[in-house]
Amino acid sequence: GPDVPEIEADLERLRTVMAGRAASAEAYFSSIAETWDTVRGLHYPNDAIETALLELAGAGPFHRMIDFGTGTGRMLALFAPLVTEAEGIDFSHRMLTVARANLESANARNARVRFGNVTAVPFADASADLVIIHQVLHFLDTPADAIAEAGRVLAPGGRLLVIDFAPHDLEFLRTEHGHHRLGVRHDALASWASDAGLTLETPRSFAPPENGAPGLTVNIWRAIKPASVREIAA
């Protein structure tokens, strides 16, 4: 019969197939962990987007901020001065290595990262007052689950900031860059937020650079967890 290495190889192939898109997304993250330039060149400059993010988050101070799918750790470095604790999760070990190096060079001592899945985050209910989901939803098979988790971990009065692309038709981002959806629709996000007990506001939009090439509009959405939920009689 077949020897053990062959069976193991078959099992490994099967696991790869079963992991499917999650594996392809992780492979993509590993391959571009140090170079986001292609996609970044298609949208509005990051510094302006970051300024708007800080504005929408509010002055703070925040006790605990959680960054879902932290990637390079940029959001943690950006918000670290406003928070007591900044925590990021990512499912790519290579990205976590990049994030740790970046946080060290930014001297963000109150920030840390760990392995985790944004659709089942390793944090307690109502344990954060700020959650960031920055350019993550378009990679997910089940983005509603990530929004549900944000709603769960936010304390009453807490804020969620979602940064993602408006719907677009740049198909190469799906075929070559691991995107599972071409942007995020406002009505879809509003529905996921509502299901998660959050109130979604109208996004702030940043049009792409006007250089004649097709580009991406970046939206920043803010959702609020109500400060008090009316008691429902049993």
Instruction: Kindly indicate the confidence band of residue 31, based on its pLDDT and cuts at 50, 70 and 90.
Output: low
CATH number at residue 94: 3.40.50.150
Stretch 139-161: mean pLDDT, rounded? 97
Phi, psi at 46, each rounded to 5°: -60, -35
Would residue 34 count as lying in a domain?
yes
Res 210: pLDDT? 77
- As given in the structure block, the two tokens for residue 171 are 């198909």
pTM of the model: 0.82
Would residue 78 count as lying in a domain?
yes
Would residue 196 count as lying in a domain?
yes
Would residue 53 count as lying in a domain?
yes
Would residue 232 count as lying in a domain?
no
More reliable by pLDDT, 226 or 4: 226
Tell me the CB-side half-sphere exposure of residue 113, using CA atoms within 13 A.
Answer: 32
CB 86 within 8 A of CB 62: no
pLDDT in tens, 100-115: 999 999 999 999 999 9
- As given in the structure block, the two tokens for residue 10 are 């078959």
Length of the chain: 234
Is the confidence at residue 189, as pLDDT, over 50?
Answer: yes
Number of domains in the chain: 1
Would residue 25 count as lying in a domain?
yes
The whole domain housing 112 covers 4-224
**Amino acid, res. 41:** G
